[in-house]
Structure 1
Amino acid sequence: MHDARLLLELGDEAVRRLARRGYTLDLAGLEALSSRRARAIGRVDELRAESKRAAGEVGRAAKAGSSSTEVPAELTALKERARELKDRIREAEDEVEAAEAALRDVLLTIPNLPSDDAPDGDSDADAVEVRRVGEPPAFGFTPRDHVALGEAMGILDFGRAAKLSGARFSVARGPGAVLERALASFFLALHTGRHGYTEFSVPHLVTRETMTGTGQLPKFEEDLFRTGTGDRDLYLIPTAEVPLTNLHADEILPAEELPLAYTAWTPCFRSEAGSYGRDTRGILRLHQFSKVELVRLCAAEESGRELETMLGHAETCLQELGLVYRVVRLAAGDMGFAAQLTYDVEVWLPSQDTYREISSCSDCGTFQARRAGIRAKDAHGGRGQVATLNGSGLPIGRTMAAVLEQCQDEDGSVTLPEALVPFTGFRRLLPDGSTD
């Protein structure tokens, strides 16, 4: 969430930067809400000061009339005045609360300011390629997609998944389920053992406040799965970024302990509102999928460096698997709501003859930390701002699709990357669904 004062100080610059991501900032409206809040706070301060003076007058009048058996009329009037002031203070405090809520409601809908390093544009066609790693495999046959391969081997079953849950769900069977688990175990071992992340097991249902902290709410409620009512109004997480980042909501972190690096393997639930017709075949865009997520919290001034670090960690996953991929920098209008700069890592899918996104690594600056109330303090008591970053490291389904497609043989078998063998216990998926 933004600091209203900072947006107003930036003025036309804030308008320009937000326009790059397709958002029109109403400066006049923001100024009016901010002024309303300031006036309300000022009125409360005035009334409290007046109430304090009235209390002093009551005390002096009471002391002066203590020798009399009758309550002086002046004292009665002063007490009535003090009561009136207390009522007016309560009313003024209600106005402060209403003004702050109105300002907060607007601020919660304003996306993060994009970095000047993000190129102009609003689609994936406007992304800037940073690098390519590896050469797409040249097959001497027409490569099959992961759906054809998985169903022929019997390791993926979309028909039974639809019977259970409807469209956009999948079932992995036998060696397919083992491969999913192996990928997650490999990623977690890599990130905790080599990259220094702490692994967490986190809730998959979270509160509205938790979703608000990372920016999923209030703007993107239609993209979420909601369950429960009243006090048990909870949401299924769309990514482990949500609980991992909010672990420190409303906390002051010791600055010397930063950066913090967290990871978790969780299911992710997304309604994919508005995406119907895109990537409906296979396991590229499901309502439920699993993913190993990376989250970093650091000093605000270190976020750019931390983004490059996290990007390197996501790339290492693909490098260890020997998969062909490229890195692009997303356009300002194509980034997520909370991001100020995002790199996408795109893996090569032979069946589509193109690169497809497999990881997004985003620098959110102080945007999420402000929403979630995460701050830092050094050993001398100095306060500092915290930046948050998140990235996929990696999604299991999309990685599985890439492995099946890039590592396929003409006979329909798949030779797994060597790095996965210790986690699967087999090297090849055979056409009949067996392994060796």
Structure 2
Amino acid sequence: MNAQLDISQDKALLWLMAIACGLCAGANYYCQPLIHSIQQYFQVPESQVALTVTFAQVSYALGLLFIVPMGDIVNKTKFIPLLMFFAAIGLFICAFAVNLPMLWAGTILVGLFSVAAQVLIPLATMAVQPEKTGEVVGFLMSGLLVGLLLSTSLAGLFSNLVNWKLIYIVSSILMLILALMLKKRLPHVPTAKMSYGKIFQSMAVLLLEEKRLIYRSLIGGFAFAAMSTLFSTIAVLLTSEPFKLPDVMVGVTTLIGVFGALSTTKIGKIADQGYTSLLTWVGVAILATSWIFLYFGGTSLISYILGYGIISLGLAIVHTSNQNIIFRLRPNAKSRINSIYMTVYFTGGACGSALGVYAWHHGGWTMTCMVGLCLVAGSALFALLDRLLLPKTQTA
């Protein structure tokens, strides 16, 4: 790789990219804490408003599968700002929606095009020296994860202080500003010469030839499923006895996860030294330990907050380790590899959310914790299978 493309020295650009990752990732989650406010505004059944969350998740999954792979064959310096522009349009539509279908349309646009972050991260790995891949990915992941965590808190706060539409207005303006700034500063990197249809044929080949990609995707998918089990039950647990917290405080409680998100840069540096396998097992162990704290968190808010912070750290370690490995598999197919990985990752998240709701309704908090722990065990199983692929002398 040409040394002049090493963006690790350009701190201003890295910060812009990290903020963009956080804004894009968070944009898809604003609707989650606003269901009640939106229901009151449009005067429609809450069950209909809840479909907004489903539309956001499904459209994001479609974007991961059909838009992110294009990052390997197009000019990323133009493609990424364009995706952010369309995401901003979707946010504007949400902000000025006059009925629920209009909000749905805006949400779908945001979901489809907020995948810009998942094109931005592979670009960064192509514009940095290989030995700094983990450090840069970790830094961008810090921005992405902080954006995810702050999105629901800020959306709820803005809704309580002013209006639920304010978060959409502010973020759409910021999205446009960042898109313009990135268009001028993003580095040019090589692209593969193939048609859109050939992309998916090559992705099928990747699945057949790269077993580590499959295993690492499943490790991440099960880990995120365990976290999503928590996401889908946090509101019902903390707003009921014995806690009875208001919606705003539920959002504030989750901010403990920021510490895990901010650790990804350090984790990435350790991964760059060849300790990805060790880090994976540490991450899985932390995920398992978190559910002990979360179990007692059913009656103790302090234990719950500690558990939430610990599980966020464990997920950050596993996810950063996974990305450090997969981006080294095929240097000329990073967007396609990321598309496969993130599609499995968020599919795991969707399944974890559904399992969390099911467990809550059929066995309460105890069954929810058991499901979470079983999902961590699934992550550990595929970590073991991945480790068996490696020569005994190899640590990565």
TM-score (norm 1): 0.24
**Structure in which a larger fraction of residues adopt strand:** 1
> Greater RCO between the two (CA within 8 Å, min separation 6)?
2
